[in-house]
Structure 1
Amino acid sequence: MAVSAGPAGARRAAAVLTPLAAVAAAHIAPAATWLPVVRRRLPRLAGVGHPGHVALTFDDGPDPESTPRFLDALEALGVRATFFVLGDGVVRHPSVARAAVLRGHELAVHGWSHDRPWLPAPADDARAVLRAAGAVRELTGRRPLWYRPPYGILTSGRWAAARAAGLRPVLWTAWGRDWTAGATPASVQAAVAAGLRGGGTVLLHDTDRMSAPGCWRATLGALPAVVEGCRAAGLSVGPLAEHGLPPAGPAGRRASRR
């Protein structure tokens, strides 16, 4: 649409852009939920669960190169975790995702692909989340319970999409900052320890799909220290299913029994 120059044109342009800006603001406003101050006000969204338990979660997989190494490491540590998987990865690498389930881990939904949600697209959000949830259900035979949006950006469209799919959004309370090229096992462990408390949810990554090449090795190297640090503090470590969080609403509870 063309808008003429001059004061009148500027006013008409403002009249057009103001509603668009309001729509965009309403869409992206819930993204602030990742901020620490908001997490304190929304503990369930942040993943605060049983005070004697820590939920261990991994994002962005499955990855045929790196995920099996995490499965081996977790087995050696006697720990199960929740893997927030991407639907397109599940379809491309079903054997890797299936191996995680067979070894006692929980699959949750991270979306279909790791896209950025800057523009409102509620129909696309709904399709992507439902498609990813369907891929997980087809692989596992059970409906997933949890949803974590890519980048932790929970827009209004993604929130609605999760509710439509019967998923509870869960972010995190501590992370390893393990996606950068400079990450080391020591830096990952220190970052987790700095934010970790009983009842917390830890965010790590079992792949470098959306991160610096090879950075998953730092996470893998930090894993024993992360787990042992929790145990030394008297905290058990496990998946979100054991964390004391309720599933999403009546639909989610019915789905979890199927």
Structure 2
Amino acid sequence: MYAVAPVLAAALAHVGPAATWLPGLRRRRFPGLAGQGSPGHVALTFDDGPDPASTPHFLDVLDGLGVRATFFVLGENAARHPALARELVRRGHEIAVHGWAHDRPWRPSPTRDTRDLERAVQVVGEAAGRAPYWYRPPYGILTSGRWAAARRAGLRTVLWTAWGKDWRQDATPASVRATVAADLRGGGTVLLHDTDHASAPGSWRAALGALPGIVRDCRGAGLAVGPLGEHGLGGGRAGDASVSATGAGIAVAS
């Protein structure tokens, strides 16, 4: 009994920060971690790329919309597709760190967490031409090991306030747009995926189809849309955007 107690205590210490995955708790208690920024701005973020089969389509749509975003890339994908990772930067987007691989870190392994994050930081930094600043763990699962590794690497962890559930097999452009709108307010951070790397096959098309409508909804509510570096969180690499203050929610236009 007594021999088990230290093991349980260590396990709880490891997974305890993962409770921040709960959106309500995160928004109320940890607004900075949730990505709550300037009230007149919405941060647009994408996870899991880069992927040559899908990411270029998102870049083209974003160009057409005149929007820049933050792409949380996996180190293994950036290493596999370095030219595409550099293209994200060339097009004016931020690239940030999503870890090395898209895994679930249930077992404590500080050495692994540090090693994998350092590898990802190096690859992302080479693509960006400067050290990355933002970090989002896969699945939004923030363990104590990954939190500590991110701090040692000089990364700031940001999760999200609204997502589109675009990874699901039954996701459609309409469902993604409506799901984002249900939770989005001024100052929020939106999570979408520019690939089906860790999602249902072909699900990225739902996010791509929803993207113009999401941007229109934000602009219709008087909200600017851009990367985390312009979101008023401080310390970003893209400067501070000048935005008007509003706390209005987002209504889906027909």
Q: If the length of structure 1 is used for normalisation, what is the TM-score?
A: 0.90
SS at 2:233 equivalent: coil
Aligned partner of 1:198: which letter?
G
**Deviation at 1:95?**
1.2
Q: How many residues align?
A: 236
Q: Deviations over 1:34-78 (max 9, x none)?
A: 211232111100000010000000000000100000000000110
CA shift digits 1:156-209 (9 cap, x unpaired): 011001100100000000000000100000000000000000000000000000
* Match in the other structure for 2:243: none
Report the Cα offset of residue 98 of structure 1: 1.0
Q: Tell me how far apart the structure 2 counterparts of residues 109 and 49 of structure 1 sit (CA, whole Å).
A: 19
* 1:83 partnered with 2:98: no
SS in 1 for 2:116: helix
Q: What stretches of structure 1 of length at least 5 have no aligned partner?
A: 1-13, 253-258
Q: Which residue of 1 aligns with 2:200?
A: 212
- Rounded to whole Å, the distance in 2 between the matches of 1:197 and 1:173 is 9
Query: Which of 129, 147, 151 matches 2:135?
Result: 147
Output one character per residue of 1:64-112: Cα deviation in whole Å (capped at 9) or x when no partner.
1000000000001100000000001000001111111100000000000
Q: Secondary structure at the match of 2:3?
A: helix
Question: 1:60 maps to which residue?
Answer: 48
How far is 1:231 from its partner? Answer: 0.2
Q: Pick the aligned partner of 1:122 from 110, 116, 121.
A: 110
CA distance in 2, matches of 1:144, 1:176: 25
What is aligned with 1:41?
Answer: 29
Higher mean C-alpha deviation, range 31-40 or range 64-73: 31-40
Alignment partners' CA distance in 1, 2:141 and 2:128: 26
151-160 or 32-41, larger mean C-alpha shift = 32-41
1:154 CA drift (Å)? 0.6
Amino acid at match of 1:215: S
- What aligned pairs does 1:159-178 form with structure 2 within 5 A after superposition? 159-178=147-166
Structure with greater helix share of residues? 1
Distance, in Å, in 1 between the alignment partners of 2:45 and 2:59 is 12
CA distance in 2, matches of 1:235, 1:64: 31
Query: Match for 2:92: what amino acid?
Result: G
What root-mean-square deviation, in Å, do the aligned CA atoms of Structure 1 and Structure 2 show? 1.1
- Alpha-carbon offset, residue 15 of structure 1: 2.5
Aligned residue number for residue 168 of structure 2 = 180
CA contact (8 A) 2:26 2:33 kept: no
Identical counterparts, % of pairs: 69
Counterpart of 1:199? 187
Letter in 2 for 1:77: L
TM-score by structure 2 length? Answer: 0.91
1:233 aligns with 2:233: no
For the residue of structure 1 that corresponds to 2:127, the secondary structure is helix
Q: Equivalent of 2:18, from 5, 11, 31?
A: 31
Partner in structure 2 of residue 4 of structure 1: none
Instruction: Pick the structure with greater CA Rg.
Output: 1
Structure 2: runs of 5 or more not aligned: 238-254
* Partner SS for 1:18: helix
The answer on whether the counterparts of 1:167 and 1:247 sit within 8 Å (CA) in structure 2 is no
Deviation at 1:16, TM superposition (A): 2.6
Conserved? CA contact 1:86–1:114, under 8 Å: yes
